[in-house]
A and B are shown apart, each in its own frame.
Chain A
Amino acid sequence: GQNIDQPTEMTATEGAIVQINCTYQTSGFNGLFWYQQHAGEAPTFLSYNVLDGLEEKGRFSSFLSRSKGYSYLLLKELQMKDSASYLCAARSGNTGKLIFGQGTTLQVKP
């Protein structure tokens, strides 16, 4: 079966660090994407992992463990503009198809 789980909501404080977890069970797993979506806007690409380990991009990092079916998105030095939904999506096989989790709504408070 195909299943992706991530928390529905999280709250964090401006300037802090937050980790958004994602677990997946996907046949033919072939990579994991993270997207950011502000309310009423299109999802925008944040990161991609296909091998185990950490990928860092400025304030955002993403980690993947294929053996555990687990990924996380780490946001450092949180800013108010980071308040958004964060979508975890697994690629299945060699197609461009993605399976999305329900998304995690992050609220950053002053």
Chain B
Amino acid sequence: DVKVTQSSRYLVKRTGEKVFLECVQDMDHENMFWYRQDPGLGLRLIYFSYDVKMKEKGDIPEGYSVSREKKERFSLILESASTNQTSMYLCASKRAEVGSQPQHFGDGTRLSIL
């Protein structure tokens, strides 16, 4: 079974802090994704990565950056946290070659910015 692990289930940070959310997958997947999930808005793509050291902006990249130094790890960085970044953050991964392969999700990190 694919395992996508997010480092924290719950996180509380202060406005202006630099926040790191970590995601690790154990299936040698090339593609990795970061989403945020808000009530009434569904999952929105922040950034994704096709492979190591590759990254592309998703639909809402403002205020975020990412890092993919190793294939198994994809980090989301909030450069200077703001209260409107309070949300559920979900990481996902999938194999690159076959489009019909689903994305596999981690359990999510519920981030509160005070």
Contact = CB atoms under 8 A, between A and B. Distances in A.
Contacts of B66: none
B99 A31 contact: yes
A59 to B, nearest CB: 19
Nearest to B30: A96
Contacts of B48: 96-97
Interface string A66-84: 0000000000000000000
B42 A103 contact: yes
Nearest to B100: A48
Interface in A13-45: 30-31, 33, 35, 40-45
A98 B103 contact: yes
Contacts of B99: 30-31, 91, 94, 96
Contacts of B94: 96
A42 B102 contact: no
B104 interface: yes
Q: Give the interface residue-count category, chain B.
A: 20 to 34
Q: Give the interface residue-count category, chain A.
A: 20 to 34
Given A43-B90, A44-B105, A96-B48, A50 B100 contact: yes
Interface in A91-107: 91, 94-103
A42 B31 contact: no
Given A42-B90, A42-B107, A101 B42 contact: yes
A97 B35 CA distance: 11
Interface string B39-51: 0111111001010
A48 B99 CA distance: 10
A108 interface: no
A8 to B, nearest CB: 8
A68 to B, nearest CB: 21
7 contacts: A33-B102, A35-B102, A42-B4, A42-B106, A50-B100, A91-B99, A97-B45
Sorted from nearest, which 8 A-B pairs have the closest CB atoms? Answer: A45-B102, A102-B42, A42-B105, A100-B43, A96-B31, A100-B42, A42-B107, A43-B105
